[in-house]
Each structure stands twice: as structure tokens, then as C-alpha cells.
Amino acid sequence: MAKKNIPSHQLFDSARAFSVKLMQFLVVPTFVLAPDGRVLIWNRACETLTGLDAKDVVGTKNHWRGFYETPRPCLADLIVEGRTQELDGLYVTHGDPEITSTFGVHAENWCHMPRRGVELYLAIDAGPIYDDNGELLAVVETLRDISVQKRSQTALERLALVDGLTGVLNRRGFDEQMTLEWSRARSSGLPITLLMIDVDNFKSFNDHYGHPLGDECLRTVARALGEAVLRPNDIVARYGGEEFAFILPGADAAGADVVATRIRTLMAEAAIPHSAGGIDGHVTVSVGGATVMPRIEASSLDLIRHADAALYKAKSSGRNCFVAWQENSTASHEAHL
């Protein structure tokens, strides 16, 4: 019996219907945009991920409502509209925009998912589909929720920046924050202040009381520094050994004096006994501070060097005091409790 020939247009229509149904039932959240940016397909997995029903989005350009509180382009939109140069400003991380228009691109971002009331970290892939003449037929976007992995990664990264003994930032964390805040200060034109804090006569404390009490002493100092924080963007770190650092973004010399006084007052209130060389029988700290307006030719290392020099002067001036270095001035201010 001869096989019946099926017209090519019927084969095409059948293949097209199959492709649409395949996308509809994919377990991977997927949506498809037409060349004019309207939604052609919004599959069931995408409905589950976003809480936005297909009937409310197909045929419209309102797909952003599944991911954001206010209108902004999704990854597929950038390909449709030829705006891939905007990737840097819209996504946490992304692939090379130079190859986006031809092969598609991968990006990652936090999305607020307003219909579900949750924040998810999504891995997003979007790729164009062309006809035989090179005309854009559609752009397909797929999504994966990798929030658990991202939060775990972020937690591990934070742990790597925290000092295990005191719970404040470690030296690596300090270096990263110092670089970041220096860059911000240079961009904003605001001053930046650094305080360096050293526990006075700590070696004699350790030798007399032993390392366990020495560790507890450092934890107490770290707590006092934490209580001295007056603004949410102030940063406390353990610089090394018994030395701590306090970054004060946007603070001037007067602000440095306020915080330094507060640190030493809190240490006096802690009243940690130190009968083997402590000043007035208690643990005290010396503080050196520097305030600068970052210049292009300078670096954060200059700020650290100035604060460290001020700390050295505080210790050589009898300890338990604050010495401030100020830019364009050779004079220093000493304060004793």
C-alpha cells in the first residue's frame, strides 16, 4: 500500500504545533518573545515560578511583572531591542554581550517576584531564533532558581572574611572594604577616615593571664568597637594580632574624634583587669586616626600609612590616648581619657 504524501505546509504546521506544546510542558520555566517584544509562550513552569498566569501575559509586554516591582527589561528584551550594552547595569553577572545577538547570553540576578512575595536568585539564558534569511523570529528565555546555592555561596564568602576569634572582619575583609570605600569616597568627593586601634601592653597581659584570657580580652575589645559604631556603614576589622581598624566612610576629623573618644570610654567601662602593666590596672587602647579627601594620585595605602603613624605616636606618647593626623597639616591632636 503506497504511503500518503503529506503536504509540506501541513508538516510545518504540525511541527510548529508540536514545538509550542513541547515548550508549554517543559519542566524548565520558559517564555518566548516575538520580534516586537510581545509574549508568544509563557509555559506552565514559568507560571509556577512567577505566580503570573499565561492568560495575563501572552500577547502583552507585561512579562516583567513576574520578576520586578517596576517596569524594566528582561534578558530576552535586551536581545529583541538590541540593548545588550545595558547588561552591566541590570545583572549581577552575565556573559559576553558581543556574542549575545547571535548566540544568546547567560546572566544571573536577584528578582523580587512580586506575585509570590519572595526574592529569588535566577540563572537566566536567552537566545534568538532566526529564519533562513537571518530575520529574527523569536527570542527564548529559560530560567532556573539557584537561590539556595547563591545564599550558601554568599554565606561561605562572608565566613572567609570574618575573624574566627572576634567575629569582626578579618584582614582580608578589611582590605576588600578599604579598597571599596576608598573608591566610593573618590567618586563621591567625600572624606574618609581610618582609625587604627592597638591594645596597650597586650603581650604582658597574655604572659600574665594566659592565652585563653588573652583571647577573651580581644573579644571584649571587638565588642566595644562594635558598640562604638554610630552609623550602619562604619566598618570594624581585626587588622592583626591585638590591632584593630575602624573605617569611617564620609567622616571628617571631628567625626573621628567622636568615635575615638567613644571607643576609649567603652573600654574604660569594660574595666578589664590588667595588673601586669596595664594603665591604672586596666586594659586600655591607643588610637591613631587619619582623615583624607581621596585624590586620583593617592591610594588607600596612604591613608593606612598616615593612621598607622598616628597610632605609633599615640603609643610613644604614653598610650591610652588618641592622636589624629590630618591632611595638609603637620599638627596632631592628642586626647587622654
Tell me the C-alpha to C-alpha distance, in Å, between residue 161 and each of 118, 170, 219: 28, 6, 17
pLDDT of residue 11: 46
Alpha-carbon span 211 to 232, nearest angstrom:
32
Domains of the chain: 10-151 (3.30.450.20), 161-336 (3.30.70.270)
With CA atoms as reference, report the closest residue to 255 among 177, 200, 176, 324. 324
Q: Of 47, 141, 181, 242, which is the active-site residue? A: 242
Q: Per residue of the chain (337 residues), give pLDDT as tens.
A: 555 565 555 544 555 665 666 777 789 999 999 999 999 999 999 999 999 999 999 999 999 999 999 999 999 999 999 998 888 889 988 887 665 455 689 999 999 999 999 999 999 999 999 988 989 999 999 999 999 999 988 888 778 899 999 999 999 999 999 999 999 999 889 999 999 999 999 999 999 999 999 999 999 999 999 999 888 899 999 999 999 999 999 999 999 999 999 999 999 999 999 998 888 899 999 999 999 999 878 899 999 999 999 999 999 999 999 999 866 543 444 444 4
Partners of residue 333 on adjacent β-strands: 324
Is position 269 annotated as part of the catalytic site?
A: no
- Cell numbers standing for residue 32: 518566548
Distance (Å) of CA 137 to CA 13, 74, 124, 130: 15, 18, 20, 5
DSSP summary character for residue 328: T
d(CA 56, CA 214): 64
What's the start-to-end Cα distance of the chain, in Å? 107
Amino acid letter, residue 14: S
pLDDT of residue 331: 41
Read off the C-alpha cell for 110. Answer: 536577584
278 with 209: CB under 8 angstroms? no
For 275, half-sphere exposure in the C-beta direction (CA atoms, 13 angstrom radius) is 2
Task: Locate all alpha helices (DSSP H) within the chain, ordered by sequence.
Answer: 8-24, 44-50, 75-81, 87-90, 100-103, 147-160, 171-188, 202-209, 211-228, 253-270, 300-316
Task: Give the pLDDT score at 102.
Answer: 59
Which residue blocks in 38-121 are alpha helix, DSSP H? 44-50, 75-81, 87-90, 100-103
Residue 125: what pLDDT? Answer: 95
Taking Cα atoms as reference points, which of 8, 41, 12, 5 lies closest to residue 26? 41
